A and B are shown apart, each in its own frame.
Chain A
Amino acid sequence: MTRVVEVPTQFDDRTFDQFARSYAADGGGRMLFDAHAAQWASPYGLVGLLTAGQAIAETGGERPLLTLPQDRDVVHYWARAGFVRHAEQYFELHGKAPRAAARGESDVLLEITPVRGADDVHDVVGHIQDRAAAILTQELGLEATATMGFGMALSEACQNIVEHAGTGGWVAVQTYTWRRRLGRRVVVIAVADAGVGFRRSLEATQAKRFGDRWSDAAALEAALIQGVSRFRDPGRGQGLAGIRRYLNRWTGKLAVRSGTARMTMVPPWDEDAPLVDQLPPFPGTQVLMIVPAHVENG
């Protein structure tokens, strides 16, 4: 018996919970991730989909099926973003997958890249820094100082996988214009892993302190607001705070989803809720960072 997991036609952070609900629904059997009708997917959607496949593989589940988008342009974009290449590890692919992705000038700043160790973090930061500098200053109109902070935020987000997830993860960076949502150009960083999540990572040191309140939401609060870490080293727990400071300075957005909760640092241009819990469960942690173009008095 096959259980279908619907991939939303517009697959991004706003439809991710719909995807997670379908993923978490009861029912056994082999899973079929149905993306045939997909028309668009953000980096957040694509790394989330890979995370689902990774989680099934790492828990010994049967290799799931994935129907690729029927739309030729869409599936080419998925290939260009690096998704198809990595998806072959975890899914039995159905549909026409482009053999070779066209390279060259692209909005994909960093194609989907695995993060398993410190060397991967060096490679990611080193690879992206020059192009990110050009885009942040020339296309988004940010000051030159935004560039270094961008690399720092990217590095810290990737290191959370290396230090805390207990397994590998994924990062992708893309720039595009949000015509309807914001009317501005943005750079989006998506980082996801299929690891233990914040609650399990912090449980040994924090659960007692929170008592009955201990939950995915409480763990996110402890990490993002209070800067706690599972390590006793007092120098730990600063990475997420650094990311928050960077995004706050450039009116950016940070959203961290772990387990059944999502905490968001909501910028003035967005209407997301600061904390949502009792979401459909999803493996690991998903981090979304958005840096928008500068506008005067914006």
Chain B
Amino acid sequence: MTHIDLKDVLARTVSSLYGDLVTRRTGEAVRSGIEAMLSDDDETAVIDFGTVRLMDMSCADEIVGKLLLAHGLGHYFALTGVHAAHEDALLPVLERHQLAVVAEDRTGRLKVLGYLPEPARRAFGFLADAGPAPPDAVAAHLALTPDVARDALQTLCDRRVVRESGGHYQAVRCA
């Protein structure tokens, strides 16, 4: 697991004088800094928003939107330290690009942000709360048909917010 502190990346790539993630130019620079930290394997990169005060939508698009578009199929990403105002900037970006990403808020609650069909969103909620589970357990708990549950889990895997291992599905986590 690679931990990426956005404030550190901002200081390294743009300026230590800035505390906010604003402007496209800053977003591009920060994304490049993150890309340089990504490992080649399937490990999860945890991007820490905890030290970031403000992020605008242009930066959200450059940092999270374009990062997921470029690397979302080769890496798992999770966001931590996300507060409501960060979500306000992130959600339209994710919806616009039809992307989804795991986010942990400041209370430690895990959720998925972005574009997902409702059964997949409910399935993620179940896995986040209950831990790893097979498809039939997801179907039974959420009162879904087996086919719908399998489709929902496949969607979550395609979006790289859930991993499958030995027939069990597990939400991507920040720790």
Instruction: Tell me, yes or no, whether A binds B.
Output: yes
Interface string of A96-124 (1 = CB under 8 A from B): 00000000000000000000001001100
Q: Is the CB of A122 within 8 A of B54?
A: no
In the complex, chain A residues whose CB is within 8 Å of the CB of B89: 152, 242
Interface string of B81-97 (1 = CB under 8 A from A): 00111101100110011
A-contacting residues, B33-67, CB 8 Å: 53-58, 61-62, 65-66
B contact patch SS = helix
In the complex, chain B residues whose CB is within 8 Å of the CB of A122: 15, 18, 20, 22-23, 26
Interface size counted on chain B using CB atoms at 8 A: 29
In the complex, chain B residues whose CB is within 8 Å of the CB of A159: 22-24, 56, 58
Q: A149-B88, A238-B61 are in contact. Are A155 and B93 (CB under 8 A)?
A: no
In this complex, the member of A125, A156, A245, A246 whose beta carbon has the largest number of chain B beta carbons within 10 angstroms is: A125
A contact patch SS = helix
Interface string of A245-284 (1 = CB under 8 A from B): 1100000000000000000000000000000000000000
In whole angstroms, how far apart are the Cα atoms of A159 and B55 in the complex? 13
Closest Cβ neighbor of A237 among chain B residues: B96
Extra contacts besides A118-B25, A121-B22 (16): CB < 8 Å: A122-B15, A122-B22, A148-B83, A148-B84, A148-B88, A151-B20, A152-B54, A152-B56, A152-B85, A156-B58, A234-B97, A235-B66, A235-B97, A238-B61, A239-B56, A239-B58
Chain B interface residues (CB < 8 Å from chain A): 15, 18-20, 22-26, 53-58, 61-62, 65-66, 83-86, 88-89, 92-93, 96-97
Chain A interface residues (CB < 8 Å from chain B): 118, 121-122, 125-126, 129, 145, 147-149, 151-152, 155-156, 159, 162-163, 234-236, 238-239, 241-242, 245-246
